[in-house]
Structure 1
Amino acid sequence: MSSQQGVILYGPPASGKDTVTTALTELDPTYAQFARLKVGSGKAAGYRMGTAQQLHELEAAGEVIYANFRYGNAYAIDRPGVDEAFAAGVPVVHLGQVDGIRALVDGYPADWSVVLLWCPREVTEQRSAGRGDSDTAARLAAWDATREDLDAHPGMTWDLTIDTTEASPQDAARLIDQMLAQRAGAATA
């Protein structure tokens, strides 16, 4: 097993991936959100904005671990980006597709902790509207797609499941941090 530890946060839109990641980095600055390569428009914060040509070159070189398309954009997890994230600390990768989790766990050797962050659909709607999203309807469609994705993969296992309507972001961060410490201790024992 690799000694490199990484965290994958899976969940529907507005389930708390950004908020929990912020709480993790406040708890320990070695945690950092992995900035996926984004080709398209809209929100740039939290992404490495790129061009279709850059994505094509990475794909041609076999350096794309996983790519998906949502909200009219392409999002990629690329090997050079993950290498840089591990060199800087403990990457926290946000995903909304089980296939993306499997691609990353199978395609990049590390000790990945996979965490399901969950909230009901109406909470996604409330949080999306509350933060001023202009595409709440698309986020609800993505929530539906996440639910379908989970239903289509009943054998998917989680290292930790957190209901973000019950756990504060700080509590969720502490649970994740404790889990990684336990895993690191077990790996060295």
Structure 2
Amino acid sequence: MTARQGVVLYGPPASGKDTVTTALTQLSTSYAQFARLKVGTGKATGYRMGTPEQLHELEAAGDVVYANTRYGNTYVIDRPGVDAAFAAGVPVVHLGQIDGIRALVDGCPADWSVVLLWCSREVTEQRSAGRGDSDTTARLAAWDATREDLDAHPGAAWDLTIDTTEASPQDAARLIDQLLAQRAGAATA
């Protein structure tokens, strides 16, 4: 039996997680962005909007794999959601915290390919402003937090690192797809 495969895209705001995920889904319909449960307000696209009561129920059942708070909202990776994502194909999980990657990899056994998408703080600022974000200052603070996270975890291992100022989203998607194909081939050899 082939192991379940998943992709984790880690990086600061505006590093290209959404854009690369879109390119992956265009490359193969087996890829799908994992929609985290979001408890709060604001952008709903790409999330499963939830309530504090739902979060409490997941916590009580031991089904919260990882949760973090940012931009005044709580973002949750939940076991039932991950299981449903694997049933549908290859989940692509967006994370901005190394602790979240560890919690996911340890809490949801699978062959996870962990990819660092990177861009400079200046590029994050330009991209955020260019897409009309009303909270660019908060996104720059999140970029700083990501840089601190990387500095605090110098032993963090990446299966692939992509500078999104140099690689197109399509090239990044092809590299990720090739990585998964190599890992699947090695697992069956």
TM-score interval w.r.t. the shorter chain? Answer: over 0.9
Partner of 2:43: 43
| Distance apart, 1:106 and its partner CA | 0.5
Contact 2:2/2:187, CA 8 A, preserved across alignment: no
- 1:26-56 superposed Cα distances (whole Å, 9 cap, x missing partner): 0001100000000000000000000000001
C-alpha RMSD of matched pairs (Å): 0.9
- Residue 158 of structure 2 aligns to which amino acid in structure 1? W
Letter in 2 for 1:94: H
Answering whether residue 82 of structure 2 is matched by residue 82 of structure 1, we say yes
Q: Residue 177 of structure 1: CA displacement?
A: 0.1
Q: Which residue of 2 aligns with 1:151?
A: 151
CA 1:96–1:152 in structure 2 vs 1: closer, same or farther (change >3 Å)?
same
Shift of 1:2: 6.8
Q: How high is the TM-score relative to the length of structure 1?
A: 0.99
Answer whether contact 1:16 1:117 (CA < 8 A) is retained. Answer: yes
Whole-angstrom CA distance in 1 between matches of 2:52 and 2:124 = 30
Give the drift of 1:115: 0.1
Distance 2:62 2:126 in 1: 40
SS at match of 2:92: strand
Cα shift readout 1:35-91 (whole Å, capped 9, x = no counterpart): 000000000000000000000100010000000000000000000000000000000
Distance 1:161 1:62, change over 3 A: same
Letter in 1 for 2:17: K
Moved over 6 A (4+): none
TM-score, reference length from structure 2: 0.99
Contact 1:24 1:170 in 2 (8 A): yes
Paired with 1:7 and 1:54, the residues of 2 have a C-alpha distance of 26
Report if aligned partners of 2:2, 2:188 keep a CA contact under 8 Å in 1: no
What letter corresponds to residue 61 of structure 1 in structure 2? A
Match of 2:15 in 1: 15
In structure 2, the CA distance between the partners of 1:2 and 1:188, relative to structure 1 (3 Å rule), is: closer
In structure 1, the gaps of 5 or more residues are none
- CA apart distance, 1:185: 0.2
Q: Secondary structure at the match of 2:122?
A: helix
1:164 counterpart residue number: 164
Alignment size in residue pairs: 189
Whole-Å separation in 2 of the counterparts to 1:144 and 1:2: 39
| Deviations 1:92-148 (CA, angstroms, capped at 9, x unpaired) | 000000000000001110000000000000000000000000000000000000000
CA distance in 1, matches of 2:18, 2:29: 15
Whole-Å separation in 1 of the counterparts to 2:43 and 2:184: 35
8 Å Cα contact 2:9/2:93 also seen in 1: yes
Given that 1:2 and 1:111 are in contact with CA atoms closer than 8 Å, whether structure 2 keeps it comes out as no
- Which residue identity is paired with 2:134? S
Partner of 2:187: 187
Tell me, yes or no, if structure 1 residue 24 matches structure 2 residue 24.
yes
